[in-house]
Structure 1
Amino acid sequence: MIDLSLAEIADITGGLAHDIPDPSVRITGAVVIDSRQVEPGGLFAAFDGEQVDGHDYAARAVAAGAAAVLAARPVGVPAIVVPDVEKALGALARAVVERLGTDVVALTGSAGKTSTKDLIAQVLQHHAPTVWTPGSLNNEIGLPLTALKATADTRHLVLEMGARGVGHIAYLTGLTPPRIGLVLNVGTAHIGEFGSREQIAVAKGELVEALPDEAAGGVAVLNADDPLVRAMTARTKARTVLFGEAEDADVRATDVRMTPAGQPSFTLHTPTGCGEVTLRLYGEHHVSNALAAAAVAHVLGMSVAEIATALSGAGTLSRWRMEVTERADGVTVVNDAYNANPESMRAALRALAAMGGGARANGGRTWAVLGPMAELGDESLAEHDAIGRLAVRLNVSKLVAVGGREASWLQLGAYNEGSWGEESVLVSDAQAAVDLLRSELRPGDVVLVKASRSIGLERVALALLEREGEVTGR
């Protein structure tokens, strides 16, 4: 974080100093919301959560080295007391970003946000010091915490923005105004809350509406292959850069092919030339993510050779997103259990099918261990049924549907598509899935584990790896 005094922070946040003997004391460490993560000279923001009240840990935070606490009430230790800690944190983030003058790159989309953010971060690191959103901390608290990690040396700030309703992204862009805005896609994630894909597009498009105009350097990076995203060109005064496989895309891919292991290769085209890319990531869906990252890097001045090299060397930074691990016995576990929606579920199944070519050559089978997709509203039955059918169409060897009603729809979809024997099975919970897999897996098998985060299906992948021991993260 940029060096600020407690007096300056009180002024920025509209707070009052309590039990602060010297307002000139400066914050030189990180801003955190977990007292266990406090650094000497840092600032502890005390949130009153559903299960824990951070104010109860204020004294512990100061004892651990925090210079002060950002709090909603006096806490008996040095504190800046504000009416609303969340809003104060946001105001502090905006002030810091404005003082630093760093380039803010914001991205949103229904699927692939975190994977694309990780790619952008890894590519831009080759260009200049870069700070980015860790994991999926893309909400009203996670975004300012990320922004406050920036320092005077930071050139690029890459921020993932999530939305659960209209107005959310507009609020986030107000905290850290972006110069470059990237919209990946408009899918059906959270459609139960939004009501329709068109409403999701309204929310995602708030990002491009927040950009400065072209004369001020604003750039909207949009997916040429998604009609709802492409249409956002009419909602921004910024310069538009299109990415995708469409012929008129400014940054596009040709000659897309898959390696035997299921990793995509393609020729990258930018306005300044071409380069060859072979990703370390698994699944053809990462081509679109890579093109989005390439478009951002192009806008920021990187050469096509630099971009292609950086993309080819980029890996997975965030856990439980297509994490591929080979066990000692030759079983490969693909842990993609962080979250799921219809688009990401289809992409993961296609990636599994691509990996299955090598598996079958070695006598192995493909297993899809799938759980419910949350927040689909009235579309839930149809979407789960469609995923079960797709598993059959992709010739996945075994479908294990885990859970209750939604899982039964997965299994029924597979059955109705032609999975009448033992190719699909419904089990009650994660432990039942683990027991089944432990009894039936054999060398050469590839196991995909995926469901919405609330289901906790990562326990299946972790149990399979813990028992047999990890060998190599491919």
Structure 2
Amino acid sequence: MKLTTEKIAQTLGCSYTGADYPLDHVVCDSREVTAGTLFVAIAGEKHDGHAFIRELDARYENLAYLITQPLDFVPRSPAFRVRDIRRALGMLARTHLSGMHARVIGVTGSVGKTTTKNFILSALAPAIKATGTKGNQNNELGVPLTALSVAEDDEAAVIEMGMRGLGQITYLTDFVRPDIALITNIGVSHMELLGSRENIAKAKLELVDALQPGGAALLNGDEPLLYQARPQKKCYYFGLQDHNDYRAEKIEGNAFTLLYPGGSLHISLQVEGRHQIMNALAAFGAGHMMGIDPALLKTGIEAFRGDGRRQFTQCIGGITIIDDSYNASPESMIAALRVLAQKPGRHVAVLGDMLELGAYEEQGHREVAAICAELKIDVVITAGKAARILYDALPPSIEKYYVPERIQAEPLLRQVIREGDAVLFKASNSMEFNRLARALKERMGNQS
């Protein structure tokens, strides 16, 4: 059942006058509005959505508005005023999903949520129609917006759920309850807010607590905090260890044998790294738990090429550039370094701060330095305040450089990088290491 103006009024306890008509889209961006749209007027730091309503109302028919402030004119389309726009959006999402047939796969974890979500969508594609979170919109706005985008003919909705503290996933699942709860891993991101990995695991496991009746969890069985948690729900496990229901063996590069309850398959991935094998196991497990033919899941998994923003590899002007600058934690940085170490040529790691680690900051950066030594990375260029810890922990056998600011690393790249190198860029997103990667790509492209 589509969202309608009458359904909005009933769900939110609002009154309005006018005709009842369906709304095909729910958006927060005024540039995405067309006829038949519910426009959610968010009052943000830079823009206030309420300021665009007069223009939208004059331009389009059959709109509706979700607002928190009184308007200074009487719109042609109904405006539903609420106290808490995020909660109202969640209530609409719950109402909308109740009329849909799609099974909800909720995905959370410290790292790999977005890639795993995209892997699942690729795995399901040969068998069923599914929708999922756009990008990494996994918060109080993104989760209900994704739920409201579920169509009547969708058979699955893969919804990413982030958290920044205890109770946040419980809040999200009050509106969007999963049929399958998938937790990718437990890392140290948000340690500054939660204080320990045990608390991070507790926060992530809220997703399992919220399962629909008859639902089941799919957990990383290589993570003791998940495998030993033994929640009072039906659980399956994925990983590389023998006790997992979905596991990989005979790993050779990006190829492996996938063992699952009732059979096995040979899988050859188009993405690199052991962490991607874990993502593939999770995607297969989610699809298999839905009853999808394993051969179709294999087709979808092997077709996955990545999402373009994470670990994007290009060969330009004789240089292999791995741009994995979208975000970073110790786990994801170590995984990226392992990918770098498999490349031919001299290995150059351009590394920046890993943020939101709290008391784990020093240990996390030291762990990355130890992996650089273990993998015999040839050159490490570090930039940022916390990256100084990493730099100081590197052994003298590694050619190493440190600069306080990212912008100071660009001249170093021109000085250090040479033809035949493999270069990794990795840091927390706010460090904007994508600028360094882009500058190197442009320079090498101009030289070729």
Report the TM-score, using the length of structure 2 for normalisation: 0.94
Q: d(CA) in 1 for partners of 2:174 and 2:273?
A: 35
Q: 1:321 aligns with which of 290, 294, 310?
A: 310
Q: Is the 8 A contact 2:36 2:63 kept in 1?
A: yes
Name the SS for the 1:285 alignment partner.
helix
Q: d(CA) in 2 for partners of 1:61 and 1:330?
A: 51
Q: d(CA) in 2 for partners of 1:281 and 1:150?
A: 28
Confirm whether residue 56 of structure 1 aligns to residue 46 of structure 2: no
Name the SS for the 1:321 alignment partner.
coil
Q: d(CA) in 2 for partners of 1:23 and 1:316?
A: 45
Name the SS for the 1:345 alignment partner.
helix
Q: d(CA) in 2 for partners of 1:44 and 1:345?
A: 39
Query: Once the 2 structures are TM-superposed, how far is the Cα of residue 467 of structure 1 from its aligned partner?
Result: 3.6
Q: d(CA) in 2 for partners of 1:38 and 1:463?
A: 35
Q: Which amino acid aligns with 1:339?
A: N
Which residue of the partner structure matches residue 249 of structure 2?
Answer: 254
Deviations 1:262-317 (A, max 9, x none): xx211011113111111111211111111111110111112222222221111112
Confirm whether residue 311 of structure 1 aligns to residue 311 of structure 2: no
Q: Which amino acid aligns with 1:242?
A: Y
Which residue of the partner structure matches residue 123 of structure 1?
Answer: 123
Which residue of the partner structure matches residue 261 of structure 1?
Answer: none
Query: Once the 2 structures are TM-superposed, how far is the Cα of residue 112 of structure 1 from its aligned partner?
Result: 1.0
Query: Once the 2 structures are TM-superposed, how far is the Cα of residue 170 of structure 1 from its aligned partner?
Result: 0.9
Query: Once the 2 structures are TM-superposed, how far is the Cα of residue 370 of structure 1 from its aligned partner?
Result: 0.8
Q: 2:388 aligns with which of 408, 427, 441?
A: 408
Which residue of the partner structure matches residue 395 of structure 1?
Answer: 376
Q: 1:68 aligns with which of 64, 69, 78?
A: 64
Does the C-alpha gap of structure 1 residues 468 and 13 become closer, same or farther in structure 2, counting only changes over 3 Å?
farther
Confirm whether residue 22 of structure 1 aligns to residue 10 of structure 2: no
Query: Once the 2 structures are TM-superposed, how far is the Cα of residue 5 of structure 1 from its aligned partner?
Result: 2.2
Name the SS for the 1:175 alignment partner.
coil
Confirm whether residue 300 of structure 1 aligns to residue 290 of structure 2: yes
Q: Is the 8 A contact 1:15 1:83 kept in 2?
A: no
Q: d(CA) in 1 for partners of 2:14 and 2:442?
A: 49
Which residue of the partner structure matches residue 371 of structure 1?
Answer: 352
Does the C-alpha gap of structure 1 residues 248 and 47 become closer, same or farther in structure 2, counting only changes over 3 Å?
same
Query: Once the 2 structures are TM-superposed, how far is the Cα of residue 337 of structure 1 from its aligned partner?
Result: 1.1
Deviations 1:304-333 (A, max 9, x none): 22222221111112x421111121x12121
Matches within 5 A, 1:264-283: 264-283=254-273
Confirm whether residue 418 of structure 1 aligns to residue 414 of structure 2: no
Matches within 5 A, 1:141-160: 141-160=141-160
Which residue of the partner structure matches residue 333 of structure 2?
Answer: 345
Q: d(CA) in 2 for partners of 1:464 and 1:372?
A: 20
Does the C-alpha gap of structure 1 residues 99 and 336 become closer, same or farther in structure 2, counting only changes over 3 Å?
same
Q: Is the 8 A contact 2:347 2:421 kept in 1?
A: yes
CA root-mean-square deviation: 1.8
Q: Is the 8 A contact 2:351 2:382 kept in 1?
A: yes
Unaligned runs of 5+ in 2: none
Which residue of the partner structure matches residue 107 of structure 1?
Answer: 107
Does the C-alpha gap of structure 1 residues 465 and 23 become closer, same or farther in structure 2, counting only changes over 3 Å?
farther
Q: d(CA) in 2 for partners of 1:63 and 1:43?
A: 15
Does the C-alpha gap of structure 1 residues 35 and 466 become closer, same or farther in structure 2, counting only changes over 3 Å?
farther
Name the SS for the 1:399 alignment partner.
strand
Percent identity, please. 38
Q: 2:41 aligns with which of 25, 43, 46?
A: 46
Query: Once the 2 structures are TM-superposed, how far is the Cα of residue 434 of structure 1 from its aligned partner?
Result: 2.3
Q: d(CA) in 1 for partners of 2:181 and 2:58?
A: 41
Name the SS for the 2:174 alignment partner.
helix
Matches within 5 A, 1:73-92: 73-75=69-71, 76=73, 77=75, 78=77, 79-92=79-92
Report the TM-score, using the length of structure 1 for normalisation: 0.89
Confirm whether residue 382 of structure 1 aligns to residue 377 of structure 2: no
Confirm whether residue 435 of structure 1 aligns to residue 411 of structure 2: yes
Matches within 5 A, 1:132-143: 132-143=132-143
Moved more, 244-253 or 90-99: 244-253
Name the SS for the 1:232 alignment partner.
coil
